[in-house]
Structure 1
Amino acid sequence: MADSYPAQDEGYPRRLPRSHRTGERPRRRGRKLLIGLLVLLLVLLVGLVVADRYAVGFAEREIGTRISQEITREGIKSGPPDVSVNGFPFLSQVIAGNYQSIVVVVRDVEAPVANAEAVHLPELHIDAQDIRASINTLRTGQGQVTAGTVDGTATIAYDSVLKLVDQPGLQLKEDGGKLMVTAPVQVLGQAFTVTGAANLKVEGAEVALSFSDLDVQGLPDIPVARLAVQEYVRRIAIRLPLPELPFNLQVQEVRPLPQGLSVRATAKNVPIN
């Protein structure tokens, strides 16, 4: 009797599983796998960014501490420094032992000046580029940390400049990119006002301050009066000692700003540890 039943292949088609007929389940599994990989990749990237930013914060705190110690060692008083480590990612810079840029801002600086009172600098801005420090140096504290270039800018308040000039009644201000002076002068028992422009020139650790194109309204056009004005001009034409700056910064330029004299200084191959 077994021979009376037709074989399954002969009379009845085989019924395939739904997944094989439609292809839905393999595609669904593929999508889930892809989404899982993307989520995992995203989590890893977020973790790396968080770790990178944490390392930056740690480095900025450590650098701030070391700079505070350096500033104190050089006899400079100031507020706590603000440090920014630039460049992303930071961890790749650590591995390479080369850092793009470190910017330091120090406020309320009282910098010593040779044979004079300390000069007040409202803000000292330092930008160190191309810093070289191996992982072993950072780990052990032994070895050299150097910056290829260091640029510093600071502003000397006019009040501090006037203390160094030490001439009663003298006033300084910026006008049209020039340093202008206004001062009282006594000529033949009469009071006059001198106005004019100042010339600034960096000479070593000093700024030569001289005046030209001075005008004295109402001054009698007589030799005695002119000599009196010339003598006063010689008294206020002085050499201003510049404050000592950290990291062996050497002043390159001084120019007037509304808030004071802007000092720009640079140094190369500077040890910063």
Structure 2
Amino acid sequence: MADSYQTYPEQPVRRRRRGRRLLITLFVLLLVLAGVLVVADRLAVGIAERAITEQAERELTRQQITSSQPDVSVHGFPFLTQVAGGRYESITIKVRDAEGPVRGQSVRLPEINIDARDVDAPLDTLRSGQGTITAKTVVGTGTVSYDTVAQFMGKPGLTLSEQGGKLAVAGPLEILGQERMLRGTADLSIVQGQVAIKFDTLDVEGLTVNPLAEALIKSYARQISIKLPLPAMPFQLDVQEVRPEPEGLAVRATATNVPLNGA
């Protein structure tokens, strides 16, 4: 009696293998497509950042501010959807070593940071440079070095610093024929776009207080109380706040509905 063998169809196995290959192929294609989209997205970011950089350089030149090349970052992901809509969540512009003329002198701001929100920038405007790029709100922060502030006070030897959230001064003072060390703090405010620095009281070490000495100290306090002018801020920024920081006087300026390209 001949042996009998039972055979099974191979068709379902082949179908499963073809199905797996198809899924793998589809997965690879999706990865490639995602990579292409990411690359395209980053390329579009680069184009927009270069366009905004050029506009920022023109604005700084218009305000007679010299600086290093602005560092522009366009935020938000995916970026291509922002390009399509011509509206961007946030654009930051960082300017280093900024310097502008004020009353025949140069005021140096080591760094200016500008944060533009809700920016309307049509693609055609970015490509051609024609048209208006507008930010709904712009906030700028910068720092004036203490050396610059002391220069405007016109009293050699004074050292300025931040102490306990106040602007502090220290330095030698010749009074009643003797040189003494003075110390004191100032009140800060913004008056018509300038930083008002007002010293009300000063302490002089080792000095016996009498009416004459007190009058001389008050006179000196008035001499070093100044209104510090600031260079014209870019993008129509209006200075609103000032506070002492370890590296200098930090100023904060704001503006609304700002044309970033000066159009």
Tell me whether the two structures share a fold, i.e. TM-score over 0.5: yes
1:96 aligns with 2:85: yes
1:105 aligns with 2:94: yes
| Residue aligning to 2:234 | 246
User: SS of the residue aligned with 2:234?
Assistant: coil
| Residue aligning to 1:175 | 163
Unaligned runs of at least 5 residues, structure 2: none
Q: Percent identity?
A: 53
TM-score (norm 1): 0.89
User: SS of the residue aligned with 2:235?
Assistant: coil
For the 8 Å contact 2:201–2:218, the answer to whether it is kept is no
User: SS of the residue aligned with 1:218?
Assistant: coil
For the 8 Å contact 2:95–2:111, the answer to whether it is kept is yes
Highest CA radius of gyration, 1 or 2? 1
Distance 2:79 2:214 in 1: 65
Distance 1:243 1:139 in 2: 31
1:24 aligns with 2:13: yes
| Residue aligning to 1:85 | 74
1:201 aligns with 2:197: no
| Residue aligning to 1:271 | 259
The structural deviation recorded for 1:58 is: 2.0
Among 16, 27, 43, which residue is 1:38 paired with?
Answer: 27
| Residue aligning to 1:6 | none
Distance 1:253 1:182 in 2: 24
The structural deviation recorded for 1:211 is: 1.3
The structural deviation recorded for 1:71 is: 0.9
Distance 1:244 1:137 in 2: 26
The structural deviation recorded for 1:245 is: 1.1
For the 8 Å contact 1:104–1:126, the answer to whether it is kept is yes
Distance 2:25 2:223 in 1: 80
| Residue aligning to 1:72 | 61
Distance 1:164 1:213 in 2: 20
| Residue aligning to 1:151 | 139
Deviation larger for 239-248 or 131-140: 131-140
Code of the residue aligned with 1:123 in structure 2: it is E
Distance 1:83 1:69 in 2: 14
Distance 1:180 1:244 in 2: 26
Q: Deviations over 1:137-164 (max 9, x none)?
A: 3344333210011111111111111111
Unaligned runs of at least 5 residues, structure 1: 1-12
Code of the residue aligned with 2:155 in structure 1: it is Q
Among 210, 213, 219, which residue is 2:198 paired with?
Answer: 210
1:56 aligns with 2:45: yes
The structural deviation recorded for 1:16 is: 6.9
User: SS of the residue aligned with 2:132?
Assistant: coil
For the 8 Å contact 1:97–1:133, the answer to whether it is kept is yes
Q: Deviations over 1:61-90 (max 9, x none)?
A: 222122112211221111111111111111
| Residue aligning to 1:235 | 223
In the alignment of these two chains, the number of paired residues is 258
For the 8 Å contact 1:174–1:258, the answer to whether it is kept is yes
Distance 2:161 2:47 in 1: 42
Code of the residue aligned with 2:9 in structure 1: it is R
For the 8 Å contact 2:51–2:126, the answer to whether it is kept is no
TM-score (norm 2): 0.92
Distance 2:208 2:125 in 1: 71
CA RMSD, Structure 1 to Structure 2 (Å): 1.8
Among 186, 192, 195, which residue is 2:180 paired with?
Answer: 192
- Bigger RCO (CA 8 Å, 6+ sep): 2
Distance 2:133 2:256 in 1: 13
Distance 2:130 2:58 in 1: 17
| Residue aligning to 1:120 | 108
For the 8 Å contact 1:185–1:229, the answer to whether it is kept is no
